[in-house]
Chain A
Amino acid sequence: MNKKKIITIILGIGIISLFIAYQIYNKPHVNVLDVKSDIIITADKIIDDFSSDETKANRSYLDKIIKVSGTISELKLEKQKGIITLKTNHDFGSVLCHLSDQATQKINLLKVGQTIILKGICTGFLMDVILIKSEIVNKKNLNT
């Protein structure tokens, strides 16, 4: 009787831990829309920070979900993926926002010169500050 109990308990723990391991293995990617952004900033400020001290800026912005506001200087589609360039006061650098599949469908509604707020994950600075999985933020969900 006791043996049976022990076996059931061990089996139970085994099944639960397998289930948990499976859940961890398959854990979903961050959904940018659902997560509250860590930082809200203008395109000018973020490029200033990266060009003045990249190591420090990396520490504050890398992997963070960031809301950037700015003026659209270029809109393009590359391999069915939308890319929005935000103008900055720097000669070379800008903020390059690679859109999510969902946001790419809305790119036709946008115009060059329009001001916009984009929310994405900052992966770093090459010539430009790069945001991936970006979503277009409406005035409605400005506070999320």
Chain B
Amino acid sequence: MKTTYTFLICFLFIYNTNSQEQYLTKNGVIKFFSSTPIEDIKAENNQVLSIIDTSTKKMAISILIKSFLFEKALMQEHFNENYLESDKFPKATFKGDILNFNKIGGLETKCDVKGIITIHGVSKEIVIPSIFTRIGNTIFVKGEFGLFLEDFSIKIPRLVVKKIAKEIKVTFELNHKPYKK
């Protein structure tokens, strides 16, 4: 009986250290830019949730569309009500595998993250080139990629079509820390 308990306690310890393999941030930053000769538009989201599981080498990101803040209130309103329809689709998500995860160390390491991105209810496969840095107990990830509005069936009215770029530039900065309950 005693040995069973010892075994169980040992197992719990191992299990606990294993749970340290999850890294998380609740205030990652995602920004996007649309640049046309007529107008530059940018928005920022500071409430990005991102989780990295180092044992499965997977990464999951979840963001709220309404958390994007624009310089102009009217743009933010159009973005939410007409383009992204955030009442119907309040979240955008990404789930993927970190390729070459084992290479990541203290120096900036280029790693692709391959997975599925879902925006405006439309899912698409994507490879996001990212830069990983693992210092102490933090995993910092940053990168930049482009998204085409038409891939996510986001329709822009003809009247403003010249003001909004077809390809939107997205940048992200996610500083993951070990997850504690």
Contacts and interface: CB of A to CB of B under 8 A. Distances in A.
B46 A124 contact: no
A26 B74 CA distance: 7
Q: Interface size class for chain B? A: 20 to 34
Q: Which of A28, A92, A121, A132 has the most CB of B within 10 A?
A: A132
A29 B69 CA distance: 10
Contact of B64 (A27, A78, A83, A126): A126
Contacts of B170: none
B118 interface: no
B90 A58 contact: yes
B74 A124 contact: no
Contacts of A81: 46
B73 A28 contact: yes
Contact of A92 (B47, B66, B76, B181): B181
Nearest to B91: A124
A49 B90 CA distance: 16
Contacts of B64: 123-124, 126, 130
Range for the number of chain A residues in contact with chain B: 20 to 34
Given A124-B90, A126-B26, A25 B72 contact: yes
B47 A132 contact: yes
Given A26-B72, A126-B47, A132-B47, A83 B66 contact: no
A62 interface: yes
A58 B62 CA distance: 16
B138 interface: no
A10 B49 CA distance: 53
A87 interface: no
Contacts of B27: 78, 83, 98
Interface of A: 24-30, 58, 62-63, 78-79, 81, 83, 91-92, 96, 98, 121, 123-124, 126-128, 130, 132
Q: Which 3 A-B pairs have the closest CB atoms?
A: A123-B66, A124-B64, A126-B49
Interface of B: 26-27, 29, 46-47, 49, 62-64, 66-67, 69, 72-74, 76, 80, 86-87, 90-91, 181
